[in-house]
Amino acid sequence: MEILPDIQFHEDLPLIVWKPRGILDEAAVNKILADLVRREATAVKPFNRFCDLSAVESFHLTFKYVFHFALHRRLSYAGREPVKSAFYVTRPQAAQIVKIHALLTDFSPLDVRCLKNAKRRRSGWAFQLNH
């Protein structure tokens, strides 16, 4: 099993945190997706997700890729317990990507949110872990 950089799993919360840096492309997203699917398959209970996109300098993701990624997540997570996925964004391009993901996973067990300011990131929705 490959250990992915910039990922922390907090079993006690339960929460997975991903802080990608530099260029975010399909290969990087595919690696985190494989890790996420593996963790979902072996997890005793559902866990929330937090992704801090503030250190990403460039996004190399097409609309088509984001659309297919989000649709895949929606379909593959159907019928499971609800979880929250919070994305902290500081760039308009990141916000657009997250909004597409949120739109396509709406009315599914994946509650995807785009957080745009640090105060909300630290004290708001992302860390209210009880559903």
- pLDDT band for position 5 (50/70/90)? confident
Q: Cα-flanking dihedrals φ and ψ of residue 39, to 5°?
A: -65, -40
Residue with tokens 């760039």, as numbered in its chain? 91
pLDDT over threshold 70, residue 101 = yes
- pLDDT band for position 131 (50/70/90)? very low
Q: Which of 20, 74, 12, 98 is nearest to 48 (CA)?
A: 12
Q: Cα-flanking dihedrals φ and ψ of residue 48, to 5°?
A: -85, 165
pLDDT over threshold 80, residue 117 = no
Higher-pLDDT residue of 98 and 118 is 98
pLDDT tens profile 19-59:
999 999 999 999 999 999 999 999 989 999 999 999 999 99
Report, in angstroms and rounded to the nearest whole number, the Rg of the chain calculated over CA atoms: 14
For residue 97, give both structure tokens.
């990507």
- The burial of 107, by beta-carbon neighbours within 10 Å (0-12 exposed, 13-18 middle, 19 or more buried), is given as exposed
- pLDDT band for position 125 (50/70/90)? low
CA max distance for the chain:
36
Predicted local confidence at residue 129, as pLDDT: 43
- pLDDT band for position 77 (50/70/90)? very high
Predicted TM-score (pTM) of this structure? 0.87
